[in-house]
Chain A
Amino acid sequence: MAETATSLETMQLTIERKIQIGFAIAVFIIVAVGAAALRSTAATVESAGWVAHTLEVRAELEATFADLIGAETAVRGYVITGDTTYLTPYDSARVQLGGLLAELRALIADNPEQLKRLDSLATLVSVRLERSHWTVDTRRTGGSSAAARAVIGGRGKELMQQIRGMVRQMEDEEGRLLAQRSAALQSKARLARLAAWGGALIAVTLAVIASALISRELAGRRRAEQALGETQTRFRQVVASSTAVIYANTVSGATFSPSWVSENVTRITGYGPDEPLQPTWWLDNLHPDDRERVLAEMPALLANDHLTIEYRFRYKDGTYHWVHDEARLLRSAAGTPVEVFGSWVDITDRRRAEETLQVSEEQFRTLAVTANDAIISADSRGDITYFNPGAERIFGYAPEEVTGKPLTVLMPERFRDAHRAGLARYLATREARVVGKTVELAGRKKDGTEFPLELSLASWRHGPEVAFTAIIRDITERKRGEDTLRRHTAQLEAANAELDAFAYSVSHDLRAPLRGIDGFSQALLEDYADRLDGTGKDYLARVRSGSQRMAMLIDDLLNLSRVTRSQMHLAAVDLSALARGIAVDLQKRDPERRAEFNIAPGLQVQADPGLMRVALQNLLDNAWKFTGKRPTARIEVGSATHDGRPAYFVRDNGAGFDMTYAHKLFGAFQRLHGAEEFDGTGVGLATVQRVIHRHGGRVWAEAAVDGGATFYFTL
């Protein structure tokens, strides 16, 4: 990544350098073209100067020559006429020629050839002027003929010819120089044009290239900016939808000031986007119990450049959440801490899960350690991985003796093959014959003794592997107990069967003789009445009464036995309705008796309806019986709370009994009253007690002699 950035930088530099170079070239060319143009202009100006110079030289030459011609003409005029006025041009020429020649000299000072020619010309001019002077003198002194001769004889014409030739030479020279300079100027101008066009062309080309490069660069930048913008948008969205809050702090010295926080802070913590930027926001909401620890950790950030820490933090709604805070320190090139970047994740759920897991593990450990049963885990090879203290006690091995060993060490020899086959089958097919069930097997202790055990086996996934956990209980004692129980049960069943047969037999056979006794006694009384006296008849009446009482006893005994033997079927029983029904029957039985029944409504119990009827019938029969001597019997059925449980009672205002004998009350055939006073078999309350006991309840009585009795029962 860093490498790519570097090469990218290099490439960008290259492009910039290219553009710079291009511009440098363009500027150079423009300067060169300008210089060429300037030079060309300067040359043109110079050459124009030279033209003017040439023309000036020519004009000077022409003027010199004209003066000379004027002087000669003046001399000739004088010679011919002798008039001195003609000499004026000659005199001015003599004056002027010196100046003209000096001017010429100055003009052509740069050209030694011309100077030589000028020297010659000057000599020729001075010679000519000498000659003219002589001619004038000759005229003055010699007259016109002498002068004419002098003119004709003199070499005036020849001299003029020479001067003219010299002037022409000089003019030609100037002309040649002009031509030469013009030609040079022309070629320079052509070059300058060429340079200007060429330079312009190159400059334009470079400009086009540079512009192309720049626009390409700009397009690249635009694309990069767009991409950057998209990246930034995406980053913002990612951060916004993330569960991690991203933040930045500026660091100065050891002070951290919040500078930026991702927008999702509001969604996650409920705080407004500006609140987290308050300097004390973080510290204010840090859980007081975590503050000290967290602050103690802070210097580590400066020391290690990063810090991972978990603490509780208060959200806007006031609830504390566990957060995982990961901070990273950024340093300047000089190594000074500059900024802290961090991410901040709510891990409350994870913490909770961890805690739950911890509790669960703790529970398991406690359970496994304290369990009386052996708890043994094994891996998919059947090798022991865990062996609890219970297992130590039961098998006699220490955990380190069996850990890693196959489970078969805990089995008698004859089960081992079956175990291996079962394990292989389970792993291959997942067909469980023992897994998920409780089976009875035999185990082998360290000392080799065998014992019966109960095994509950569960399988669970341990990564990709299957693991097993067995809970094993030594059932030696239970087996023994079961055997005893089975024996006792069998005995009990036999006894019950006997009792049943006995009761059945009693029901049929014991009554038949009584019927005979009663029937034939009656037959005697009817058929032989005339032969019996009063005493005989009374005896027979007693025989009948005895047999009938015997029949009653048998019936009561059978009822009692039936109460014991019958199957219980619990259902909702309305005691109030049941009592009302019995009360109506009692009143019908003795319509002449005055009785007040007060039966509380809505007494609902869960009980066997048949047995409950027997019990209530007996209790109300008793109440009815023992109130027989009251002018008005008052019998109450209701409920009361006894030891926090509902108790039901039947209360009467009858004869009551002495509480001294209360313990005899519920025994079979126990009677607290003589048969003369109140008849009865003494089985009724025994039956009631049997019914209540079968319901898991208790029955008791409170009474006083002649003060009525109350029978309570719970269910």
Chain B
Amino acid sequence: MDDKVILLVEDNADDEALTLRALKKNNIKNDVVVAHDGVEALDYLHGAGASAGRPPRAMPQLVLLDLKLPRVDGLEVLRRLRGDPRTRLLPVVILTSSKEERDLVSSYSLGANSYVRKPVDFAEFTEAIRQLGLYWLILNEPPPNKAP
């Protein structure tokens, strides 16, 4: 069970807390690793910087990626993930406030697997998180661990 890590890339502490609360309320008990900006996220996934030396088996089951991030933004993170063979197939769900058309287009163009807008209404937000968890952690067959 603990190999099914969720990587939450979120700079806003409120959103982080709400997301974790929503996950908990939906009984999603997977480990959640939080990266507070793009650099942290990339370090974690590509085993550089603070995460150097971490065994590659700890690749997350799902990445919840915000777009507006300090240092390296979400779209850039996505581009680098897709450009690296180790993370090329990693399921990435964009979880963000915006539904600007250009964000949608850019995200899908760069290979996002899904795009979910965070609702302001917390009840709706919780429901969105529930469905995400159900779909991506249970229903969806993840890609093989080893990249082809």
Give A contacts to B, CB under 8 Å.
503-504, 507-509, 511-516, 518-523, 544, 547-548, 550-551, 558, 562, 566
Contacts and interface: CB of A to CB of B under 8 A. Distances in A.
B100 A507 contact: yes
A518 B97 contact: no
Given A508-B67, A547-B120, A548-B120, A519 B18 contact: yes
A512 B121 contact: no
Nearest to A562: B101
Contacts of B122: 515, 518-519, 521-523, 544
Contacts of A520: 14, 18
Contact of B97 (A503, A507, A522, A550): A507
Contact of A508 (B14, B18, B68): B68
A519 B100 contact: no
Contacts of B97: 507-509, 511-512, 515
Contacts of A547: 120
A511 B15 CA distance: 11
A507 B99 contact: yes
A522 B12 CA distance: 18
A515 B118 contact: yes
B121 A516 contact: no
B123 A515 contact: no
Contacts of A515: 14-15, 18, 97, 118-120, 122, 125
Interface of B: 12, 14-15, 18, 21, 67-68, 96-101, 118-123, 125
B99 A516 contact: no
Contacts of A550: 120
A347 to B, nearest CB: 71
A519 B121 CA distance: 7
A541 B130 CA distance: 23
B8 to A, nearest CB: 15
A512 B98 contact: no
Given A515-B15, A515-B97, A519-B125, A509 B120 contact: no
B71 to A, nearest CB: 16
Given A511-B97, A515-B122, A548-B120, 11 more contacts: A507-B97, A508-B98, A509-B97, A513-B14, A518-B120, A519-B18, A520-B18, A523-B21, A547-B120, A551-B120, A562-B101
Contact of A518 (B12, B67, B98, B121): B121
Nearest to B123: A522
A526 to B, nearest CB: 9
14 contacts: A507-B98, A509-B97, A511-B97, A511-B118, A511-B120, A512-B12, A515-B120, A515-B125, A516-B14, A516-B18, A519-B125, A544-B122, A551-B120, A562-B101
A304 B70 CA distance: 108
Contacts of A512: 12, 14-15, 97
